[in-house]
Amino acid sequence: MPIKKVVILDRDGVINVDSDAFIKSPDEWVALPGSLEAIARLNQAGYRVAIATNQSGIGRGLFDMNALNAMHLKMHRLAAAVGGRIDAVFFCPHTAEDHCECRKPKPGMLKMITERFEVLPEHTPVVGDAMRDLQAGAVLGHPVHLVLTGKGRKTLEAGGLPDGTRVHDDLRAFALDFLSDAHE
């Protein structure tokens, strides 16, 4: 059976601009330069794209499901406009105080994605800008990739990255590096 090709991305700080005040509306959701084109490039190479994103702003009462859905609709439309497709968006609405299994750094969302797409973690890269993204992926055996957008530079400077973490300037650089490695 051929290996299914899926890439798992964090959202805020990887695909779109991040904010310490949270991204709360479609107006605040602004794609990072080249990120949607990177998704299109991954799709064109045969990869499906899934997003795993903590969205504790819901649990904090900063925005509701309608706002989150509107942000994701904008993201899907803008990706489609450049030839990209996001196959699934998994999100955790909980706060850290909820102690759920889906909030990164716990691996619950990533487990759900690998089960839904029937992929093996070791063949499914996880791309994030925060330590919690990398930790969630590493604990399951995913290849982990840090992008230096969003919280990425601070994450790199703090050190302690999981073994084998690859570092890229942004999602566009990840896509180029990853796809060139995949063809070697």
- Residues 3-25 pLDDT 10s: 689 999 999 999 999 999 999 99
Q: Which domains does the chain have, with CATH numbers?
A: 6-182 (3.40.50.1000)
pLDDT at 2: 56
CB count within 10 Å of CB 91 equals 19
> CA neighbours within 13 Å on the CB side: how many for 184?
6
Q: Which residues are annotated as a binding site?
A: 10, 12, 92, 94, 100, 102, 129
Q: Which residues are annotated as a binding site for Zn(2+)?
A: 92, 94, 100, 102
The kind and range of the H/E element at 106 are none
- For 49, phi and psi rounded to 5 degrees? -120, 125
Q: Which residues are catalytic?
A: 10, 12
Give the whole-angstrom CA distance, residue 102 versus residue 95. Answer: 10
What pLDDT, in 10s, does the model give residues 100-143? 999 999 999 999 999 999 999 999 999 999 999 999 999 999 99
DSSP code for 169: S
